[in-house]
Amino acid sequence: MVHALSEARRLLAPAGTLIDLRPLSLDVPLEIVSPQGSQSAGLVDLSPDIGDDIAADNTFQAAVASGTLQQVKLETFDFAYYWDTVGALKADFEEKWKGEAILRAEVLRQARRLFKATRPHSRLRLGIRMQLAAYRQPKSLSA
């Protein structure tokens, strides 16, 4: 993303918009949710790629300061991932979250224990605070 941002003037369509969507949280709760409520299995660590986030933040700030981009929106919202089984959660993490999140063995064990105790109407939920920012290339640069 950082390299693309440095080329924003060339890459964006005239008066084009660039969307930055990513998690804000470093530690997020893994919960077991059921009709009786929710129980925490522990925290999932989303810090492995924090260096990329810091670099992206710095690059966006530099692009705004130089006038290459104008920030037109900055919002936060809660987003949740759900899984129907602990096996599906584990497989998803191994396939899609590798290098981005750490699911510790003790959190997985606790999730299994809580999930088994609340079946058959329970699901696993990972709740993440997200940031949505929109940047627009000024018309003077796109002409």
SS3 letters for the chain?
Answer: CHHHHHCHHHHCCCCCEEEEEEECCCEEEEEEEECCEEEEEEEEECCCCHHHHHHHHHHHHHHHHHCCCEEEEEEEEEEEEEECCHHHHHHHHHHHCCCCCECCHHHHHHHHHHHHHHCCCCEEEEEEEEEEEEEECCHHHHC
The arithmetic mean of pLDDT across residues 6-30, rounded, is: 83
pLDDT band at 119; cut points 50, 70, 90:
confident
- Could you tell me if residue 63 is inside a domain? yes
pLDDT of residue 83: 97
- Could you tell me if residue 143 is inside a domain? no
Q: How many domains does the chain have?
A: 1
In this predicted model, what pLDDT tens digit does every residue of 32-88 receive, in sequence order?
A: 999 989 999 999 999 998 988 898 899 899 989 988 889 999 999 999 999 999 999
- Could you tell me if residue 127 is inside a domain? yes
Mean of pLDDT over the chain: 89
pLDDT at 143 over 50: no
Q: Give the predicted TM-score (pTM) of the model.
A: 0.81
pLDDT of residue 4: 60
pLDDT at 6 over 70: no
- Could you tell me if residue 78 is inside a domain? yes
What is the domain extent for residue 36? Answer: 2-138
